[in-house]
Structure 1
């Protein structure tokens, strides 16, 4: 409705007394001629909107829209409008959205100062294809790399949706909720919007064909319902990266791959095994004073090393570590010499426990609580190879007539009368000196040569004196043979054979590096041994 103010033809003056106020001032503005006032306003719009299906309610088919706005041509791709398509690369500029269910178009990028006339060149609608709010499919190649799934689709009311699964396989957004099983490649997604039911919208929601009272959800004092988000089924497409594995070559791998899974991965955590939580830390020493003690931020540490700023290791004889209280003490004669200050203490604290439960999502439970605070960025969880008690010993002692250079664990040839009496004078081995080796003592009259299968000839001896060949690594004998154990009857060519078992445990270390460009010039790792000790209180 418009209002018109008539022109004044005359002005009358009226004098009146205002009794409410003591003094007042009244300002009056007026005009007595009819003038025309003209004005211009400039409005900047960020979106142009119009309806392609005005007058009917048919659903638009994906990829069927093409129209011109001014001199630019627009097409649709899964709910997104593109303009200026390059015929060589088929790429264009994103320019807005189209809603297939309502026919509404929203353009966010257009050429200014041109005609606003819309010329429709292509449009296909249908009433046969029913929209969906649930989609399930399976990626044909498995397993799928975690975090690689992307699903793109067009909704009828909310435009294009781009969905991505996280590392655990979950898909969560305002309109989509689903999951992917990366091992099996199965994807299941539901499309709905959680909406609160109020007095204002209840009647509208209850009028929908899909409404059932059983679908209402109570959350505290509020009532919600999952309103379906309808999706154009022909618009759904996905992209995912799957793993494929080259068969393992036993000759290259160095062991039989018969019992290994096709991807080469083996479980390292099992219920009842030992699990170890470790955190590696470092601390820079404020100075390098001989005899000075430095307290670490953590106590009850399990490993500690001292190095200079260039990474050179400090000799362990130049410092002492109190692992219980986390204190590093430099020796009284400590000197930097060739080391570069400042010194850095690298240490590690750990908790070890029995594994109670292993979940498929990677969660591991131990039978006892941890005793340190662990941060995700500097902590790891590993399994332990339980070795048990170890003790050096010797086995397979026997004699044979001649040495044939065959390292067998039983005698060959005819029996001989000579022997070594290890019942009264056993061969002495120690944990520090014994190695994993097969030994042959080959006689030349009353003297003999000591030969190892891998060590070669290491010494010579005589039955008239004890023999204790030194292990150059530890500085103690490999074994000790007493002269009293030799009987008579030894002749040239006779052999005494025995094996020594070291106080070690055989461990196969295979490190795999995936195909990639090198990022560092050096690569190294450490093997950490944990052992029970007797403490003197």
Structure 2
């Protein structure tokens, strides 16, 4: 219930002569003292209202109102009225609202049982400030923490609006419609109310100064128009939390941070890139019987390792994994030895697809459906670095008269007659055995030579009468194979055959970043996985 206290505008006096009419009986009832029939009626109002700009049409400036009501002092703040504000702390009791366009002040609470006569102490109005229905601004610091932006405005003919952006940066209410870009700090808000045009309100809408026929639109067979919701431009306030980052030290980081974003974060998901969904699980085997096959809970897995209860990995030659059907078979001579039961299988299954949509809230859409069931607790989504086809090869083959311990890719000194015929007998390289290395076969006499690598050092010896195939102990495959049929004649002590092997590898910079925090463990590790022609 609300009411407006009356204000006296004018008093008129008029004199009339009252005459008595004959044959008329006039009955009068009166009392000169109160009796038991006297009563008092108490009316409770939930609102009290005043018009501060009665008699003139001017807009009130935000923050300029101050008046007394009884013993209480009221001021305005962005469309709200506060009473008895503490000058030391700035806090007061929110007691009502004020409409800056109409001058109407309404009170939700006030001190009862006192003389509620309003005494105006301060009021500033203007006729030059036009109301607005569109606000755009940019925050001075960026980036903004998602979900932290709040915008407060005062309506010309309404109360205060408190607007909050969601995690995606969208602001959507009945009166406000906008967005915020958390990375750039740009805020854009339109104020309007979607209103259906009917026969009852069309004339009133068309009479508005802002009306244009082009503003009408149709939805579901009905005609609508966005009616501007006017706000006070001086009342716009916002609050947001922005991130501040410590500059990255290029010496510690290991690369120049000039082209990195201000927060050091690099986008890893883009439309058109490859995305990988992976789920990692660990399943305890019921036993560890040699030769026994154990079925895992999932099929079409992409990786699997066995480990004991202490996390020690079981040697790879002690079991075989069927990735298609998700089975693990222990070798016939399997024995625990130093391992501690039970044995567990740590495995992973994955889906890979092309990314066709990336949302700011983190939602990623692939061009094809996934083929496994994934749960949030055990699954991750990552980007894939597309390497393309990789194959090992050898380059820069040449002979040299004397080995001078200089690892150059071109010969030095005078030429020699001895040579190796790699046109008919090319040096054989495999992806499994080859490494990134420069090799020199240095002859110690006319038939025997040493096998030396720039990084590996001398790894073996060889001779012209047998194939040269030094073994890579990591992969149990030869580093390379030089056929005995390719050797020509005329080799002497000190001569050298030089060539380089290029491994089936791809150069990748790996940088691991740990946020500032107290250490929770003394050691940690991670794995880098290469995927080749696989989509499990």
CA spacing shift, 1:179–1:449, aligned 2, 3 Å: same
SS at match of 1:352: strand
Give the match for residue 475 of structure 1. 476
> Does the Cα contact within 8 Å between 1:301 and 1:350 map onto a contact in 2?
no
> Does the Cα contact within 8 Å between 2:79 and 2:98 map onto a contact in 1?
yes
CA spacing shift, 1:331–1:69, aligned 2, 3 Å: farther
Shift of 1:480: 3.9
* Cα distance in 2 between the residues matched to 1:289 and 1:49: 85
Give the match for residue 497 of structure 1. 498
Q: Deviations over 1:455-501 (max 9, x none)?
A: 12323445566554332322333234455655554444333211122
CA spacing shift, 1:494–1:154, aligned 2, 3 Å: same
Pairs within 5 Å for 1:420-439: 420-423=420-423, 426-439=426-439
Give the match for residue 449 of structure 1. 450
* Cα distance in 1 between the residues matched to 2:116 and 2:310: 70
Shift of 1:178: 2.0
* Cα distance in 1 between the residues matched to 2:156 and 2:103: 9
Using the TM superposition, name which of 376-385 and 171-180 deviates more: 376-385
> Does the Cα contact within 8 Å between 1:99 and 1:105 map onto a contact in 2?
yes
* Cα distance in 2 between the residues matched to 1:106 and 1:326: 73
> Does the Cα contact within 8 Å between 2:429 and 2:481 map onto a contact in 1?
yes
SS at match of 2:478: coil
> Does the Cα contact within 8 Å between 1:288 and 1:343 map onto a contact in 2?
no
CA spacing shift, 1:341–1:256, aligned 2, 3 Å: same
CA RMSD of the aligned region, Å?
A: 4.5
> Does the Cα contact within 8 Å between 1:321 and 1:327 map onto a contact in 2?
yes
CA spacing shift, 1:457–1:342, aligned 2, 3 Å: closer
CA spacing shift, 1:451–1:389, aligned 2, 3 Å: closer
5+ unaligned residues in a row in structure 1: which ranges? 1-6, 8-33
> Does the Cα contact within 8 Å between 1:156 and 1:232 map onto a contact in 2?
yes
Shift of 1:63: 0.7
Pairs within 5 Å for 1:62-461: 62-69=62-69, 71-92=71-92, 94-108=94-108, 116=116, 118-139=118-139, 147=147, 149-181=149-181, 186-197=186-197, 205=205, 208-212=208-212, 215-220=215-220, 222-239=222-239, 253-255=253-255, 275-282=274-281, 287-288=286-287, 290=289, 291=292, 293-296=294-297, 299-305=299-305, 321-326=321-326, 343=344, 345-353=346-354, 368-372=368-372, 378-380=379-381, 382-390=383-391, 392-423=392-423, 426-445=426-445, 447-461=448-462
CA spacing shift, 1:211–1:160, aligned 2, 3 Å: same
* Cα distance in 2 between the residues matched to 1:41 and 1:304: 83
* Cα distance in 1 between the residues matched to 2:40 and 2:330: 88
SS at match of 1:224: strand
SS at match of 1:174: coil
5+ unaligned residues in a row in structure 2: which ranges? 1-28, 30-34
* Cα distance in 2 between the residues matched to 1:352 and 1:152: 44
SS at match of 1:227: strand
Give the match for residue 11 of structure 2. none
SS at match of 2:477: coil
Using the TM superposition, name which of 379-388 and 284-293 deviates more: 284-293
Q: Deviations over 1:8-49 (max 9, x none)?
A: xxxxxxxxxxxxxxxxxxxxxxxxxx8548689796x76555
* Cα distance in 2 between the residues matched to 1:310 and 1:96: 67
Using the TM superposition, name which of 136-145 and 75-84 deviates more: 136-145
Q: Deviations over 1:133-158 (max 9, x none)?
A: 12234456667665554332211223
SS at match of 1:177: strand
* Cα distance in 1 between the residues matched to 2:399 and 2:380: 55
* Cα distance in 1 between the residues matched to 2:371 and 2:478: 42
CA spacing shift, 1:199–1:431, aligned 2, 3 Å: closer
> Does the Cα contact within 8 Å between 1:351 and 1:372 map onto a contact in 2?
no
Shift of 1:412: 0.7
* Cα distance in 2 between the residues matched to 1:486 and 1:161: 89
* Cα distance in 1 between the residues matched to 2:223 and 2:170: 26
Shift of 1:117: 5.0
CA spacing shift, 1:78–1:412, aligned 2, 3 Å: same
Shift of 1:350: 0.4
Aligned length: 495
CA spacing shift, 1:435–1:279, aligned 2, 3 Å: closer
Q: Deviations over 1:230-275 (max 9, x none)?
A: 100111233456678888776555456787778777676677x662
CA spacing shift, 1:185–1:317, aligned 2, 3 Å: same
Please, what TM-score do these two structures have when normalized by structure 1? 0.74
* Cα distance in 2 between the residues matched to 1:38 and 1:329: 99
Give the match for residue 61 of structure 1. 61
> Does the Cα contact within 8 Å between 2:152 and 2:163 map onto a contact in 1?
yes
Shift of 1:74: 3.3
* Cα distance in 2 between the residues matched to 1:465 and 1:329: 39
Please, what TM-score do these two structures have when normalized by structure 2? 0.74
